[in-house]
Amino acid sequence: MIKKDKKEVELIQVNNMLEVGGKIDRKDNAFEKLMIIYTSAMKTLRTKLDVLNEEFKAFYDYNPIDHITERIKSPESIIEKMNKKNLELTYENLIEEIKDIAGIRIVCSFKDDVFKLVDILEGFQDIEILERKDYITKPKQSGYSSYHLIINVPVAFSEQTIYVKVEVQIRTVAMDFWASLEHKLKYKKDTSKKASKELIKCANIISKLDDKMLDIKCNV
């Protein structure tokens, strides 16, 4: 008996549940069903994080979590991203290659809180971390700073459990402030070279502010 690759198993599970395959067709309801699967994965992970948040509030003197947000990519955004990646519009490519359809953002107070939460997520026995990108230790050229994880989340349906990818972004309040405003400026109009340089300067200032606030925390 040939042992199937885990990715192949996950794809078969989803396709069997949707009873579809091949090219994406927005006229059928398979796309909507697929979004329900991703939404369920996001809810499953969000519940774990909410329990963790309540634990910190109730049992410890300090809670590293400031707030948590979540989002599902719109169908238009998914198709646009697939086109940008030059992917054929198939369900297989969508499931395997688009890894941030479901997303959760955890915003922390201090920089060391980010890495503490990464360690906690790594310790969850029923999830699997597939990818990690540390843009805090090494920010993007644009100045963007955050910690990204792609996580496989088990979602229990009536007849089977399916592992579904969810992107988790963990950042500080200061990083979130910069990223939010940068996002609005970027999508408002084409960002000039001068504006890009100014944004990088602001990101450096925010990074120094994060370090200073962490120093104050450690010395209080």
Q: What angle do CA 92, 87, 149 make, to 5 degrees?
A: 70
Distances (CA, A) of 54 to 124, 129, 169: 16, 23, 20
The question of whether 55 is a catalytic residue gets the answer no
Write down the catalytic residue from 55, 96, 97, 167.
167
The span from the first CA to the last CA of the chain, in angstroms, equals: 62
Please choose, from the candidates 69, 25, 65, 66, the residue with its C-alpha nearest in 3D space to the C-alpha of residue 46: 69
Q: What does the alpha-carbon distance between residue 70 and residue 48 come to, in Å, rounded to a whole number?
A: 13
Please choose, from the candidates 139, 114, 115, the residue with its C-alpha nearest in 3D space to the C-alpha of residue 203: 139
Please choose, from the candidates 156, 160, 139, 169, the residue with its C-alpha nearest in 3D space to the C-alpha of residue 40: 156
Hey, which residues are catalytic here? 167
